[in-house]
Amino acid sequence: VLCVSQDFDFFYFVQQWPGSYCDTKQSCCYPTTGKPAADFGIHGLWPNYQDGNYPQNCDPKNPFNPDKTWRPPATYCPWRRPSIQLRIGFVTIGVFVVADLRSSLQKNWPTLACPSGNGVSFWTHEWEKHGTCSESVLDQHGYFQAALSLQKQAKLLQALASAGINPDGGSYSMSNIKRAIQEAVGFTPWIECNTDASGNSQLYQIYLCVDTSGKNLIECPVFPKGKCGSEIEFPSF
């Protein structure tokens, strides 16, 4: 098939709190480029179905390609506009991959897994597992660009701070956290918790939903599953 149309219903846009990734039993490793800012970082942009299932690893023929500046377009789909194209007249001969986004990704999509890395293996994993399942809508450059731009639309730390919710190790109610984000960002989030080294439930990841263009936040058609307490910790980083 030369051009397949989109086969998913919406995206989860998932951001992680680095303090909660790092204070677990397992601990974390800072990227080789240095300690990330004390802010939410991108985890991924995940195509999903309305029924809660999701596709993964959709196209082994489209591996992550961070270094090459130009590559021929994977397929010629007239309605899909790669963010940056090299064209001769009407003919697209190449698309810009992600080299120009690298410093933004380092800052806003940092890796905290051990051993320390520069981010490429985290981005590779996210592209290959999730990004390839939305490749009919977003090419590699478009996928990473979309996530970076969604993060700017959903300033979570600022949203929480405006309700007096800060990463100070204090305990906050789930409903206040959700309300603060709903009010500042305009959409109801899903909160995922994990547990710190002493077993306290804490704010780990925040999910928002995005339409199939990858550009607009929407109300979630379905929420993920998983339990938090009604009071959860917001650790420092």
- Binding to ligand 5GP (CB under 6 A): which residues in 17-56? 21, 43-44, 46, 48, 54
- Binding to ligand 5GP (CB under 6 A): which residues in 82-111? 111
For the beta carbon of residue 133, count every other beta carbon within 10 angstroms. 22
Q: Contact region for ligand 5GP (CB under 6 A) — 81-89, 96-104, 122-130, 213-221?
A: 122-130
With CB under 6 A as the contact rule, the residue among 190, 201, 208, 237 that binds ligand 5GP is 190
Beta strands 201-210; 190-195: pairing state? antiparallel
Residue 132 binding ligand 5GP, by CB under 6 A: no
Burial class from Cβ neighbours inside 10 Å (0-12, 13-18, 19+) for residue 233 reads buried
Q: Is 43 a catalytic residue?
A: yes
With CB under 6 A as the contact rule, the residue among 42, 98, 146, 191 that binds ligand 5GP is 191
In whole angstroms, how far apart are CA 15 and each of 18, 79, 81?
A: 9, 29, 26
Nearest approach, Cβ of residue 88 and ligand 5GP (Å): 38
3-class secondary-structure state, position 45 = strand
Return the H-helix or E-strand segment holding 87.
strand 85-88
Using an 8 Å Cβ cutoff, are 35 and 106 in contact? no
Residue 154 binding ligand 5GP, by CB under 6 A: no
Nearest approach, Cβ of residue 16 and ligand 5GP (Å): 6
List active site positions: 43, 126, 130
